[in-house]
Structure 1
Amino acid sequence: MILYGIPTCDTCKKALKALERAGRDVAFRDIRAEPLTPAEIAEIVGEFGDAAVNRQSTTYRGFNDFLKASDPEAQIAAQPTVMKRPVIKADRWYLGWDAKTEAALTA
């Protein structure tokens, strides 16, 4: 299982701790230190579409009009932290950390 995120993200920290407490083997991938490849970005956007981009983030709000009008792959490639976090690759893809995702991955 791979958890894609950033180490300062509280939601990523919460998800990582819950998964480790549940005995899951989790590899944390810091998307700032080890940027996503174009193929990885395409796979994530292919799975989640526009939902892969956190449009409420200060990162997104700081985008210029050209970047805001770009497709999600270009937005994530330009600034990886605009990606909604965490993205978890397990038996399938998961986006975000809510009760449903936690139940599916820690049961």
Structure 2
Amino acid sequence: MIIYGLKNCDTCRKAIKAFPDATFRDVRSDGVPDEVLQAASDAFGSALVNTRSTTWRGLDEAERDTPQLTLLKRHPSLMKRPLIDVDNSLFLSWNIDIERDIRALL
């Protein structure tokens, strides 16, 4: 299991606490592999971009119109988090239902 997120994100910390044996990858320093990012984009569409973030609010209209994958590569903190990869099954965000679904896979 790999958890992609930000080390200072409270939601990511909850996921890490629930699954302490998971590998954590900080999207700012480690990035997200292209194939995982593409699969997440295919699975979650526009929900993958956190449009409520400070980073999003700081973008001008031209940059907001950039293709989603390009935008996420330039600004990894725009990704909604955590993105959790469990044997190629992807989960986005964190709540009790997602935790239950992940535990069912393990």
Give 2:72's aligned amino acid. Answer: I
Q: TM-score, normalised by structure 2?
A: 0.88
- Structure 2 distance, partners of 1:104, 1:40, is 19
2:101 corresponding residue in structure 1:
104
Q: How does 1:79-94 map to 2 (within 5 A)?
A: 79-91=75-87, 92-94=89-91
| Cα offsets for 1:32-76 (capped at 9, x unmatched) | 111224333222211211010000111111111111112221220
How many correspondences in the alignment?
Answer: 103
1:95 corresponding residue in structure 2:
92
3-state SS of the aligned residue for 2:73?
helix
Give 1:101's aligned amino acid. Answer: I
- Structure 1 distance, partners of 2:73, 2:62, is 14
> Is 1:44 matched up with 2:20?
no
Give 2:57's aligned amino acid. Answer: R
2:5 corresponding residue in structure 1:
5
Identity of aligned residues (%): 37
Give 1:2's aligned amino acid. Answer: I
Q: TM-score, normalised by structure 1?
A: 0.87
Point out the more displaced range, 84-93 or 36-45.
36-45
For structure 1, the 5+ residue unaligned runs are none
Once the 2 structures are TM-superposed, how far is the Cα of residue 105 of structure 1 from its aligned partner?
2.1
Once the 2 structures are TM-superposed, how far is the Cα of residue 78 of structure 1 from its aligned partner?
1.3
3-state SS of the aligned residue for 1:15?
helix
1:53 corresponding residue in structure 2:
49
1:77 corresponding residue in structure 2:
73
